[in-house]
Structure 1
Amino acid sequence: MQIIRFAELKAEPWRNGGGVTREIARQGAADGGWDWRVSIADVAKAGDFSAFPGMERVLTVVEGELLLLTVDGAEQPLEKYRPFRFDGGAATVAKLPTGDIRDLNVITRTAAFKGYTSIIELSKKRAHPVFEGQLAVLLQGQATVRDSGTEPLELGRYDAVVGSDADSPEVLGRGFLAVVSLDPVTAGN
């Protein structure tokens, strides 16, 4: 079972100085770039988003009230825990009408992967499994994770659990969990 501790992730400043990103995980690509990346960003100032041509983004506000995104001229309000999908190469500008926010970013190479983010309310009675091709990020509350061969381990806020089909980790607790699914794109899809 693999847990990625948020407290151990290095904050990388953005090129435009508007915030920082902490990369949770990525999968490399043949061209030296990546096919997908999952990260948490702190947005402290309004401004342009970096363009990722050939990529698709799913952005979810996980802390703060509201993010106003203008994507290719169309304004889109993003409220907490409501994932929003958009073209990574689109001209994107952010406004912070209610102050700083933190977001969960899933970016996938369009021809290689499709990313999904689901927000799950945890239960103390029924564990939520995390399967192969998924990451589960504790957004709020208290939770433990275990697989069949281990004692439960405490999760901190924004800690991530890497999924597995062989011995699926299970998250149990109270609060909210983001489940990120990264599905390979096959010919014909």
Structure 2
Amino acid sequence: MTATASSPAIIRGATLQPRPWANGLGISHNIAQHGDGACGFGWMIATAELSGDAAFSHYPGIDRVFTIIEGQGATLTLEGSGPLRCRPFVPAGFPGDQATHCTMDGIPGRAFNLMLDRAGWRGSVTAQSLAAGHRMSLRATAIHCLAGQLAIGEDVLEAGDTMLPADNVTVAAQGAAAMALVVEVAARVG
């Protein structure tokens, strides 16, 4: 998916369709993907419903950045390594081809996933809070609104909406405070 300088792509959360995880143990909502790779994409962003403890799907050649966006947190148990504690709004990276089991803390929640074909792509996710009326300049592959409203030029993102900006953008919290996940993705060189 690509955006142009004159019209960045906006994906409204209300339009996202549920789809089963590859292993059938949960539900995801794909937001955007780009390029080709080991699992049919170079990179992909999606949200996942976490209705309880479950094994994650196996993605050969994929690195994942997993961020709890609703709920109290989770612990990921990765085969061959220790547990990975996941707190809300703190991105956690792990190999998608390592057997992984998610144990939820308390109530069910939701997560935001960035998946990257490790041979061709690298990336990161950062949580950003903005006080009411504050602005910030960003260079990002994707901006996902978690709470409040984000004004970006003439466009307004509501919670659950995502923008794929074509260039640097200025983001402002409109009305009350707002929170966003900022995704940066780049092709690996050499």
TM-score of the two chains, using structure 1 as the length reference: 0.87
Identify which of 67, 72, 89 aligns with 2:97.
Answer: 89
- Give the residue type in structure 1 aligned to 2:129: E
* Corresponding position: 1:51 with 2:54: no
Give the share of equivalent positions with the same residue, in percent. Answer: 26
* Corresponding position: 1:178 with 2:181: yes
| 4+ aligned runs moved over 3 Å, structure 1 | 15-18, 123-126
- In the TM superposition, residue 30 of structure 1 has moved relative to its aligned partner by 6.4
Identify which of 108, 111, 117 aligns with 2:119.
Answer: 111
Question: Equivalent residue for 2:166?
Answer: 164
Q: Which moved more, 1:66-75 or 1:54-63?
A: 66-75
Which ranges in structure 2 are unaligned for 5 or more consecutive residues? 1-7
- Work out the CA distance in 1 between the residues paired with 2:149 and 2:52: 30
Which ranges in structure 1 are unaligned for 5 or more consecutive residues? none
Q: Which moved more, 1:117-126 or 1:83-92?
A: 117-126
- In the TM superposition, residue 45 of structure 1 has moved relative to its aligned partner by 2.3
- Give the residue type in structure 2 aligned to 1:82: V
- Work out the CA distance in 2 between the residues paired with 1:34 and 1:128: 30
CA contact (8 A) 1:130 1:136 kept: no
- Work out the CA distance in 1 between the residues paired with 2:96 and 2:47: 16
- Give the residue type in structure 2 aligned to 1:160: T
- In the TM superposition, residue 16 of structure 1 has moved relative to its aligned partner by 4.2
Any idea what the Cα deviations from partners look like across 1:28-67, whole Å, max 9, x if unmatched? 3167811110001111121210111111000000011111
5 Å matches for 1:57-72?
A: 57-72=64-79
CA contact (8 A) 2:37 2:117 kept: no
Question: Equivalent residue for 1:102?
Answer: 110
CA contact (8 A) 1:49 1:93 kept: yes
- Work out the CA distance in 2 between the residues paired with 1:109 and 1:9: 23
Cα RMSD (Å) of the superposition?
1.8
TM-score of the two chains, using structure 2 as the length reference: 0.86
Question: Equivalent residue for 1:154?
Answer: 156
Q: Which moved more, 1:69-78 or 1:10-19?
A: 10-19
Question: Equivalent residue for 1:122?
Answer: 130
